[in-house]
Structure 1
Amino acid sequence: MQRKAYVSGTAALLVALLAGCTAGSGDTGSTADTKPGDSAGSDAAAPGRYRTLYEPCGAVQRSTLRDLLPGAAELPEEQQEKVYKGTAAVTYDTDRRVGCSWKADAPDASHHLRIDVERVVSYDPEVSDDDRAQEVYARKQDAAQLPAPADPRDEKVQETRTPSGTPSPPSSGTAGTPAAPGATGTTGTSDTTGTANPTETTEGLEPRELDGLGDAAFLDDALTRAGSTAQHRTVSVVFRTSNVIVTVEYIEQPALATELPDSKELQEKAQALARNLAERFNE
């Protein structure tokens, strides 16, 4: 009788173990991003919100592409379709990184648009995907070398003091006369040549951090001249949402070397596209 009871208890234990294995075999979720040592009840950092990425060439609406690539509208319909289709970036894992680019030439200027989407995964069980993505994003922002935000206190002192440190006399309205206390400043070259320095962006359009776009975002603006060719302006908007980092790069090169790309217009268009892409992550 004792032997029978022992056998029955062993059989019950085997049934319980088999039931547990069967329950686990029905999990169809991907394990490719699982952190080492990650298991139920462990102290591993939480995974990122996103496990896949959308296809970027189809993520931009046709109306948006028409606005960003005005030269395409002048092409025959077959060539228009080719331009609007875009060129997918070559990547080894489309769940980790995808991209697309478009280019169109017009008589007055050429435009180039590029989108890069990267999903960051941390394989350190003590570092979350979001934290690792923030590290990657921070390196991108550091590489952009954004100017430090101006201190309002310094601006107030500069407006109310002359270089010698004495109070500024009232302005008489003539060129070269110091501004009256509290008066707003002017652009750096407007009191001499009346034209802006082509190597700098207009006040208020400098490279900077952006609010209300993903978890963190910044904008870079660079005007470049290569030899004797026309200057081209590159506006980049980079934002992070959870464990995904998106880069929008918009370039304009005028046909004439004497023309300067409009920084304000390019920045507005690049930011609008970036916000549309950010909204897709909430769908």
Structure 2
Amino acid sequence: MQRRARTYLTGVALAVMLSGGLTACTGSPEDEGGEDTKAGSSGAPDSSAPPGRYRTLPEPCGAVDLSTLKKLLPDAEGAPQGSSTPGKGTASGDEESPYEGQPIATYDTDRRAGCRWKSTNSLATRNLTVDFERVVSYDPAVSDDEQAQLLYDERAGQAEIPTESEPPADEEGGEGGDPADEGGKSGSGGSGEDGGSEAADSGTDGKGGGEGGGDPGGEGEKSDSGGGSDASEEPGGEPSPSSDADLSPRTLDDIGDNAYIDDQLDTGDSGVHRDITLVFRSANVIATVTYDQWLTDKRRTPDSAELQEKARSVAEELAADFDDN
């Protein structure tokens, strides 16, 4: 009996020891796993950038008010009418209005959308183009807004317009001379790894919006001041603003998150025309307004101040709509 009792007690003791060991073994990985999960959870969400504010784009042909279009495009109702899409410029009745605009074909209207308008009379041809691009970052460490900023800086650099991200000129070059000048030019491209080709495409699209004839991308010089006075003589034109205003290509502080305006005058064989390009960023959307005027009289030049003011009025209207959404 004593031998059986000792055997029984020994078996019980072994069972208790084994169960305790198993509990300790199974408990340890859970504790360690909890620490790893916490460490991982603290790092992963922080490294993922937030999505952009805008998931869709407005309908571009309906984005500009009719009253604004009539100011920018005098005599548009007398111009040849093409295909159009109803928008803010829709006229009453069954006839299509040239103020409805012509949509620009894109593969995905949630990522890229545009519209163009045209006005022609005996003195001049005017073209207005509006382009929207919603920027999406595929790098989890870079937000959509940050990617849009990189693309905006790239385009501003291509237009040779200084941006906040560019270092001062005295920090870019070496000890002077031609190498420093070349370095400054090469550094004006801004940043952004994948924005170069898109920026080039956008510039082509913006200039290509003009249908007044010739090649808008021909050789020309950036204008530092307004030239000509055709606006007051052209039917529907308006007096130009004061000549004291700064008309050089520059950044703008009161449109969207970032904005710049570029002004180019071309007096080549294709015709005399002035092209105004205003680009602004609102969160993860980049909007481009291109407004140009072609003159039939090559002895005169389009008025820079008037064209800039009208392009700016369109951009301010579009930026306000983005702010409201």
Q: TM-score range by the shorter chain?
A: 0.5 to 0.7
Q: Matches of 1:272 and 1:80 in 2, distance apart?
A: 28
- Is the partner of 1:281 in helix, strand or coil? helix
Give the aligned partner of residue 159 of structure 1: none
Report the Cα offset of residue 80 of structure 1.
8.2
In the TM superposition, what whole-angstrom CA distance separates every residue of 1:212-266 from its partner, at most 9, and x where no partner exists? Answer: 1111100000001231x53100001000011000000000011111121000000
SS in 1 for 2:75: helix
Which residue does 1:110 correspond to in 2?
125
How many residues in Structure 1 have an aligned counterpart in Structure 2?
A: 195
1:66 maps to which of 50, 62, 70: 70
| Alignment correspondent of 1:200 | 223
Letter in 2 for 1:276: E
Instruction: Work out the CA distance in 2 between the residues paired with 1:94 and 1:142.
Output: 27
Q: CA–CA distance in 2 between the matches of 1:134 and 1:234? A: 24
Structure 2 residue 311 is the aligned partner of structure 1 residue 270? yes
Is the counterpart of residue 54 in structure 1 residue 69 in structure 2? Answer: no
Structure 1 residues 244, 260: CA separation in 2 closer, same or farther (over 3 Å shift)? Answer: same
1:230/1:43 CA distance change after superposition, 3 Å: closer
Judge conservation of contact 1:219–1:238 (CA < 8 Å) in 2: yes
Unaligned runs of 5+ in 2: 1-43, 81-90, 164-220, 226-243
Residue in 2 that maps onto 1:240 = 281
SS at match of 1:64: helix
| Per-residue deviation, residues 255-281 of structure 1 (Å, max 9, x unmatched) | 111121000000000011101000111
Q: For residue 86 of structure 1, what is the aligned residue in structure 2? A: 101
Name the Cα RMSD after superposition. Answer: 2.5
Matching of residue 224 in structure 1 with residue 269 in structure 2: no
1:177-231 residue CA offsets vs partner (Å, 9 max, x unmatched)? xxxxxxxxxxxxxxxxxxxxx973317200000011111100000001231x531
Over alpha carbons, which structure has the higher Rg?
A: 2
CA drift at 1:104? 1.5
* TM-aligned CA distance change 1:46 to 1:147, over 3 Å: closer
* d(CA) in 1 for partners of 2:273, 2:162: 21
Secondary structure of the residue aligned to 1:235 is: strand
Q: Distance in 1 between matches of 2:94 and 2:306?
A: 26
Gapped regions of structure 1 (runs ≥ 5)? 1-39, 149-197
Name which of 111, 115, 126 aligns with 1:96: 111
Report SS of the residue matched to 2:286: strand
Q: Secondary structure at the match of 2:323?
A: coil
Q: 2:47 is paired with a residue of what secondary structure? A: coil
Identity of aligned residues (%): 47
Q: State the 1:147 CA deviation.
A: 6.9
Aligned amino acid, residue 255 of structure 2:
L
Matched, 1:249 2:290: yes
1:149-184 Cα deviation digits (max 9, x unpaired): xxxxxxxxxxxxxxxxxxxxxxxxxxxxxxxxxxxx
Equivalent residues of 2:134, 2:284 under 8 A apart: yes
Mapped contact 1:219–1:236 kept (Cα < 8 A): yes
Alignment TM-score, normalising by the size of structure 1: 0.64
Are the aligned partners of 1:230 and 1:259 in contact in 2 as well (CA < 8 Å)? Answer: no
What is the TM-score normalised by the length of structure 2? 0.56
Letter in 2 for 1:232: H
> Secondary structure of 1:46's partner?
coil
Deviation of residue 113 (structure 1)? 0.5
Counterpart of 1:212, as a letter, is D
Structure with greater helix share of residues:
2
One-letter identity of the residue aligned with 2:104: A
Query: 1:170: which partner in 2?
Result: none
Residue pair 2:148, 2:286 contacting (<8 A) in 1 also: yes
* Local SS of the residue matching 1:138: helix
Residue number in structure 1 paired with 2:257: 215
CA–CA distance in 2 between the matches of 1:80 and 1:223?
Answer: 36
CA distance in 2, matches of 1:132, 1:199: 28
Distance across 1 between alignment mates of 2:247 and 2:322: 27
